[in-house]
Structure 1
Amino acid sequence: MARRYPMSDAMQAFVARTQAFTEPDPSPAAQRAAYQRMALAFTPSRPPGLRISELCLDRLPSVRLYRPVGSPPDAGWPTLLYLHGGGWILGGLDSHDFICAELAAELGALVVAVDYRLAPEHPYPAALHDCLAVWRRLYDNTLGEPVDRARLLVIGDSAGGNLAAALCLSLRDAGEPLPCGQVLIYPVLGDADTSARALCADAPLLSRADLEACLSAYLPHAGDRRDPLALPLRADHLRGLPRAFIAVAEFDPLRDDGALYRDRLREAGVAVDYFAGAGLVHGCLRGRDIPEVAELRGVLLETLRRWLC
């Protein structure tokens, strides 16, 4: 018997509206089309006062840039590299457009969204390599907008949270400059049988079976799941990583991934702000008129303002 999750009325309505776009055809093309329809249904008008452009980079993924209209600060824009969720299989520039636009408008920052390659056609490490390539272009100031390197961070949700954490690990291990912070929103960080995977096995919007299907598509080869750049909780140590903001959702099989990563970062001497996500479900960042999500959004923006000031 499926577990009943004590969600608020507003969250239940969000879940029901999202589930209305469920697509029975399991093919990636059909699932991507359904995900896109769902994302667009939740997309409000972009906030005013933004300049938005796209770049198709030679041998790199397309990127979309969001920044306030007007001249940049003398030191360059405070900048966020945004890595979208979707289980490494779904999503793109349009699915998270409103989130990126809102961040740019609220923070007065440049936001760069990455249209990284998707699994199963492009399994690990393709998406990570794409994100790293864009990061390096961004750090080198070759995307056409001046960037303040001292206020340059990475943010991702779900699979994008995985990629953000892996990006930081990869840069650290290569001895390259690190972001000033990493923001991980209900991230995928491991594959262990945690209590959350058992308690939230049939959670709304992301079940344990859904999660396993995503992991299998992204990490199809024997040994992939032992690679810390695929699953950052596999890292031998987390010393030397940038400060983190980690947000999880209560009704999510991934809940313990974020908590475990928080604990390991703190043990390694890394500062962590943690949001426990009471009443939240996976993928809820796109929800509107939900008090629990508004709280998450408020804490996230407050943290980012503090980091970027």
Structure 2
Amino acid sequence: MNANSEVVLTEDMQMFDYWSQVYSPADRHIDSLRAAYDAFLQHYTLPRTEQMEVEDFDLKLSTHEVSMRVFNPAQPAPSQGWKWIFYVHGGGNVVGGADSHEYIARQLSRDLNLKVFLVEYGLFPEFSWQQGLTDSMEAYQQIRTNAAQWQIQADESVIAADASGCSIALSMQQQLAAQQTDIKAMTLFFPTFTSEQTSVAVNSLVYQVEQQALVQQWFEPSALSVEDSRTVPALAPVSVQTFVAVAEANDFKAATQALLDQLKQNNTPFETVTARGLRGSCLPLMRDCPETAAVYEAAVNFISHQLNN
């Protein structure tokens, strides 16, 4: 029996799981999986308002172009430029992008009064399993190098991520530290890593794409190798303030604890918040579920404090 079977899920979480099953792919094609995933998360995306500016750009990287959606309040930029967030979306390295994650990127921009960059990095199987990290690093560096063009303060950045995007974000942090490029803080919403297949939420769309053992059913048996496993990266000591949201019903509990243990052993300053009665897929509920809202507000307060220190 899975340990999470003892967790009593909130009614909001149970309804989220139900609707996640309703938004099922039309067939076994990867495009159907992506369309269903985007449609489900767009269900939790508020209509755009006049108070926000949202623009799409094509960002030319060294080997290909990626799409990027940029969010900022509809007001003149501060004289010194915007503070900013580089957001790395989840989706198990196979789905997700600007449409699926506008719900969180735009909300962060509005609530924190800053600029948010959301990049559509290369997904598997069109690209290698590691393309997300390569694209995200190159995009981040381009944005930072061209700070004046983007009207941002180069050194006032936060990297935020959810689910599988957290693995990319952590690896980015390590590479940036090695290059002596500072970021102000790291915010990780419900990180997911490789774990054994479980019976929890097998029919839930958002959990299938994050659970690597389940998502492999969409590809040829040999498509993913052991080297593609999304494990907790080895972390060198860094001083970046880090926020980690975890869920009480967490199929990735052992890996999440391994991450927290590394942060502690490295003396990395971090804080955690636990979402009671929820699974790690619950972030889209941040406006509908009090427990998720509390996690989101804690993250907003954390980012605000780090950027204003």
TM-score (norm: length of structure 2): 0.86
Amino acid at match of 1:111: V
**In the aligned structure 2, how far is the partner of 1:277 from the partner of 1:177?**
32
Q: In structure 2, what residue type is equivalent to 1:283?
A: S
Q: Give the aligned partner of residue 183 of structure 2.
A: 179
The CA distance in 1 between the partners of 2:290 and 2:106, in whole Å, is: 21
Larger proportion of strand: 2
Measured in 1, the distance between the counterparts of 2:274 and 2:122 equals 31
Distance 1:148 1:201, change over 3 A: same
Which sits farther off after the overlay, 198-207 or 113-122?
198-207
Distance in 2 separating the partners of 1:215 and 1:249: 24
Counting matched residue pairs gives 298
* 1:128-207 to 2 correspondences below 5 Å: 128-141=133-146, 144-173=149-178, 175-189=179-193, 191=194, 205-206=206-207
**1:36 matched residue in structure 2:** 38
Gaps of 5+ in 1: none
1:124 aligned counterpart, secondary structure: coil
2:264 equivalent to 1:266: yes
Q: 1:56 aligns with which of 55, 58, 63?
A: 58
RMSD: 2.8
Deviation string 1:250-293 (CA, Å, 9 cap, x unpaired) is: 22312333332122112111100111222121221111321111
In structure 1, the residue corresponding to 2:149 is in which secondary structure? coil
> TM-score normalised to the size of structure 1?
0.86
The alignment-based identity, stated in percent, is: 22
Are the aligned partners of 2:82 and 2:151 in contact in 1 as well (CA < 8 Å)?
yes
CA distance, structure 1, for counterparts of residue 213 and residue 155 of structure 2: 37
Q: Conserved in 2, the CA contact under 8 Å of 1:206 and 1:252?
A: no
Match of 2:281 among 280, 283, 301: 283
How far off its partner does 1:124 sit?
2.4
Distance 1:79 1:121, change over 3 A: same
**8 Å Cα contact 2:82/2:114 also seen in 1:** yes
* Cα distance in 1 for residues equivalent to 2:305 and 2:216: 34
Return the alpha-carbon distance in structure 1 between the equivalents of residues 133 and 153 of structure 2. Answer: 23
The answer to whether residue 309 in structure 2 is matched with residue 305 in structure 1 is no
Alpha-carbon separation, structure 2, partners of 1:108 and 1:206: 31
In the TM superposition, residue 303 of structure 1 has moved relative to its aligned partner by: 0.8
Map 1:79-118; keep pairs closer than 5 Å: 79-118=84-123
Q: Which 4+ stretches in 1 moved above 6 angstroms? A: 215-219
Cα deviations by residue, 1:164-198 (Å, 9 ceiling, x for unpaired):
1111122223x240321111111134x366xxx76
Which 5+ residue runs of structure 2 have no aligned equivalent?
A: none
Letter in 1 for 2:213: E
Label 1:141 to 1:208 Cα distance change in 2 as closer, same or farther (>3 A). Answer: closer
Label 1:31 to 1:153 Cα distance change in 2 as closer, same or farther (>3 A): same
> Partner amino acid for 1:62?
S
Report the Cα distance in structure 1 between the residues aligned to 2:211 and 2:249, rounded to whole angstroms.
Answer: 14
By how many angstroms is 1:25 displaced? Answer: 2.9
